[in-house]
Amino acid sequence: MELNKTIATIKKDIQNHLGEKVTLKANGGRKKILVNDGVIESVHPSIFVVRLESDTQRTVTYSYSDVLTKTVLLYYPV
């Protein structure tokens, strides 16, 4: 990832990977790191939605500022 990313570039990058698989690494607080695989389901003006591929098939939402502050890291398979 680039060093000088803005929310606009992060949003555009996530929009380019809409519908693709992604590995999500999120800070769960109190030294908990949550790692899940999922698919970017939709992109909205201030948030994006990821459908997790775990046994419960639930969705999670994150804001673009979560990616900017590295609370959430997204890894796209090559």
pTM of the model: 0.85
Residue recorded with tokens 């990977």: 17
Show the beta-strand stretches assigned E in the chain: 21-29, 32-43, 47-52, 59-63, 72-75
**Which residue ranges make up each domain of the chain?**
7-75
7-75 belongs to which CATH class? Answer: mainly beta
Residue recorded with tokens 């992060």: 10
* Residues pairing with 18 in the sheet: none
pLDDT of residue 28: 85
- pLDDT tens digits, residue range 41-73? 999 999 999 999 876 779 999 999 999 999 999
